[in-house]
Amino acid sequence: MKHEAWATDATALGLALTDAQFDQLAGYVSLLERIAVPRGMVAAADSGRLWGRHVLDGLRGASDVPSGYIADLGSGAGIPGVPLAIAVPTSSFVLIEPRRARAAFLEAVVDAIGLRNARVVVAKVEDVSERFQACAARAFSPPEESWAAAERVLEPGGVLVYWAGATFDAASLGHLGVPIRLSTPLDLARTGPLVIMGPR
């Protein structure tokens, strides 16, 4: 089977992806290799491990990001927003990225792989007037700052799914008064948990 190893990884995350979705993921990885890495959007040291370190890491949020209208805060090269949009075609994703070169890369990705449920907004989060059911944040800002940014654009009842580092301490956010739960699917827990912040 094409992408057999990837399918095994996806299944371990509880994802049943189609061949067409794996083709989109492969197209995305190719664009990361050919454009994002040479232009410094992804570390050169990660060029041989884009699937596991970045794409699969983004996919692990698929079961924790609520369905609906989702913002990827500071999308950068598109992680986690692009993998999530591929994996969850019934939701709509807005890739928010203020840097024009990175936003142009994201627009090229959306067009090249036919990602119909994602669009790019070239702006800082604080300048976005839309409201979302959920936000995703990976390599965006520390958790407290990420929550402050997400809170501006979340609808009532919305949540932030934050990709935390391995040293994350949930107690450090206790003063925010925000419900917090941790999710650590697969063996990627070693990279840090997903932190779901918000009332749901």
pLDDT category at 189 given cuts 50, 70, 90 is very low
170 found inside a domain: no
Instruction: Give the chain's domain count.
Output: 1
165 found inside a domain: no
Asked whether 15 and 55 are in contact (CB, 8 A), the reply is no
185 found inside a domain: no
Q: How far is CA 189 from the centre of its chain?
A: 16
CATH number at residue 143: 3.40.50.150
pLDDT greater than 90 at residue 1 = no
pLDDT greater than 70 at residue 185 = no
Radius of gyration of the chain (CA): 16
Asked whether 161 and 134 are in contact (CB, 8 A), the reply is yes
Give residue 94's pLDDT. 98
| Neighbouring residues of 68: CB distance < 8 A, sequence distance ≥ 6 | 91, 92, 132, 133, 134
200 found inside a domain: no
173 found inside a domain: no
169 found inside a domain: no
135 found inside a domain: yes
122 found inside a domain: yes
Give residue 101's pLDDT. 97
Instruction: Average the pLDDT over each of 3-17, 19-33, 96-110, 162-176 and give the range with the smallest value.
Output: 162-176
What does the pLDDT look like over 130-158, one tens digit per residue?
999 999 999 999 999 999 999 999 999 99
Asked whether 163 and 138 are in contact (CB, 8 A), the reply is yes
In percent, the amount of the chain with pLDDT more than 90 equals 82
> What domain range includes position 56?
4-159
The whole model's pTM is what?
0.94
Q: In what order do the strands lie in the sheet with 69-73?
A: 118-121, 92-96, 69-73, 132-138, 154-163, 194-197, 180-183
